Amino acid sequence: MSAKADEERRRIKSNIMQQPQNASVAQANAPVPQHQAAAAGQKVADDCSIAPEKIYRNHAEAPIRKLTCDLIKTYKNINESFYLRKALRRQEHQANIQANHNSSTTTAGGNQLHNTTTAAHTQGTAPNVSSNLDVQHGSAPKGLPHFDTNAPPASQMVVPAVPESEANRNRQKSSRGGPHNGGYDDENYDYILKDGECFNTRYIILTEKPIGKGSFGQVTRAYDTVAKEDVAIKIIKNKKTFFDQAQIEIKLLEMMRAHDTERKYNVVLLKGHFVHRNHLCLVFELLSYNLYDLLRNTNFRGVSLNLTRKFAQQLTKTLLFLSSPELSIIHCDLKPENVLLCNPKRSKINIIDFGSSCQIGHRIYQYIQSRFYRSPEVLLGIAYDTKIDMWSLGCILVEMHTGEPLFAGSSEVDQMMKIVEVLGMPPKELLDAGPKTHKYFEKTEDGVYYCKKTRDNFNKCYRGPGHRKLHDILGVTSGGPNGRRAGEAGHSVEEYSKFKDLIKRMLTYDPKLRISPYYAVRHPFLRPKTTSQTGQSSAAVDSPTVSFV
C-alpha cells in the first residue's frame, strides 16, 4: 500500500481513538477500567488494520483514459506538424519559382550560343545546335524506330537556344521530397513543359495554348521549324505501363497510315515519334475543336439532321476501314471528345486517341469505353469485337442531334438501367452468357430476368423496360427533339424515320445482329444528299463558327 494510504489510515485511527464514543458527556467522562480501555484500543486498531476506509482512484488518472488522451494529443501533433511542413514546402516552392523567374536572363544563353558558333566556324564545322539546346535524346525501344528529323544546319540555326543552366534553374521540384526524372517531371510523372523549349532539335513548345491533358499524359501545341507548321505533340507519362501502351498506339497508327495513303478514312495523321528525356512523344497534325465543343457552342441544343448525317457518313466509313481484315482494329473509346473537326469552318472530321485501341485477338483491357458510350457486351463482361464501336457511334449520333447523351448513367448499374428504359430487357441468351449479369439483373425460378435493386440505384426511379421510346426522344413525328426542328428543311418525318431506323440497328443488343459498317454506309439515311435537297452547301458546318485553333 502506498505511503499516502498509510498516512491516511493512521490519521483515521488517531481520530477514532481521541473522539468520544457516545453523545453523552457524562458517559464520555466516566472512568473506564484500565484493562477494558486497553482491550477497546486494541479492537479499534485491529478493525482499522483489517478494513481501512476505501481510497477511490482519480478517474482522470485512469490508465485507459490517460492512454486515450495521450494518443489523441499525439495524432493531433502529428497532423499539425505534417500540414505545417506541407505549407512551408509550398511557400518555399513558390518563392523559388518567383526567384528563378526574376533571375533568369538570356544574356548567358546568347553568349554561349555566340561562343559555340564562333568556335565551330573557326574549326570549319557547323555548330552543334543540339548541345546548345540541352536536348537529351533517349534511345527508342527495340522495334520502335526514331522519327528521322535530320535537318540541314541552316534549318537548325533558326531554333532559339535555351541554355542548360537556365533550363535547369527553371525546373520545378517534386513535392515528394525530391525531383522526378532529374527534375523534369512533376509528381504525376508528366513532363514539366517550358514555353519555347525545343524537342528533338526541331519542335518549339508553345504552352500559351494548351490542347489537353489525360491519364496517358498531355498534349501540347508546338511549332515544327523544319516543316514550318504547327503540330500537336502527345507527351506520354514517364511510366512503363503508359510507355508500353503508347508503343501499341504507334504501331496501330502506322498500320492505318500505310493502308490509307490517300487519307480517305478520317484517321488522325501520325507524323512521327521520338523519345525526349524518357518521355515517348507522338507528333500529330494539328486539328480544330471536337464535337463536344461543337455541341457546347449550340448551347447543347444539337446540330441539324443534315450535319449529323455528314458526321455519320464519315464515321461509318472509318469503322468500315478499321474493321477490314488487314487491320481488325477496335478503337475502344469513341466519344464526341475524340472526334475532331479538321477545320472550324468545314464538316470534315478525324478520329483521334487510339491509346486504348487494340486488334481483335489482342484484347488487353476489360474496362474500356467511356461509360455513356459503353456497349452492353462490355457491361456484361462478354468478349467484344469491332461492333462495340458501332454501339458508341449510335450513341454519338443521337447526342449530336438532341444535344444530350442518350444514356447518361452515373455508374455501370445506372448505365444499364438507362439502356433498358429505352431498349427493353436484353435477350436471355446474352444475359445467360454474361459473367457480370448478376450485377444488374436477378433471375426467377422460371428463368426470367428482371432488373435488380442495388445500392447504386436503390433511390432512383426508372421507367419500365422500353417505356422511354426512341421515337419520342428523336421527335420523329413532332418536329425533332422537343419540337425544335419543326418546319425546317431536311427534318421531315421521312428523314427522321430513316434516322431512327439506323440508330435502332446500331443499338441492337446482340452484337451479332448489330448492323455492320458494310451495311451502315449503305443505309438509306446515309445516302449522299445534293445541295438542292439539303438547301445548303455539302461542306459547310451549319452552326456558328467558333475558332478554337
User: Minimal CA–CA distance to 275: which of 193, 199, 188, 205?
Assistant: 199
Q: Which of 333, 389, 414, 456 is catalytic?
A: 333
Which DSSP letter does residue 171 get? Answer: P
469 in a known ligand binding site: no
Which DSSP letter does residue 507 get? Answer: T
State which amino acid sits at residue 24.
S
Give yes or no for a contact between 309 and 530, defined as CB atoms under 8 angstroms apart.
no
353 noted as active-site residue: no
State which amino acid sits at residue 301.
R
**Residue partners of 501: CB distance under 8 A and separation at least 6:** 523, 524, 525
Helical packing angle, 34-50 and 3-18, nearest 10°: 150
User: Minimal CA–CA distance to 481: which of 305, 290, 294, 299?
Assistant: 305
Give yes or no for a contact between 292 and 337, defined as CB atoms under 8 angstroms apart.
yes
Q: How far apart are CA 57 and CA 43, in angstroms?
A: 29
State which amino acid sits at residue 37.
A
Q: How far apart are CA 499 and CA 523, in angstroms?
A: 9
Q: What are phi and psi of 356, to 5 degrees?
A: -105, 5
Q: How far apart are CA 370 and CA 359, in angstroms?
A: 18
State which amino acid sits at residue 262.
E
Give yes or no for a contact between 198 and 133, defined as CB atoms under 8 angstroms apart.
yes
Give yes or no for a contact between 204 and 181, defined as CB atoms under 8 angstroms apart.
no
> How many degrees, rounded to 5, is the angle at CA 55 between CA 52 and CA 58?
175
HEC string of 206-228? ECCCCCEEECCEEEEEEEECCCC
User: Minimal CA–CA distance to 201: which of 258, 304, 254, 126?
Assistant: 126
Q: How far apart are CA 45 and CA 33, in angstroms?
A: 18
DSSP conformation letters of 422-475: HH-SPPHHHHHH-TTGGGTEEE-TTS-EEEPP-TTTTT---PPTT-S-HHHHHT
Q: How far apart are CA 156 and CA 74, in angstroms?
A: 61
Q: How far apart are CA 442 and CA 235, in angstroms?
A: 45
User: Minimal CA–CA distance to 146: which of 213, 67, 71, 201?
Assistant: 201
State which amino acid sits at residue 359.
Q
Active site residues: 333
Residue numbers in the known binding site for ATP are 234
Residue numbers in the known binding site are 234
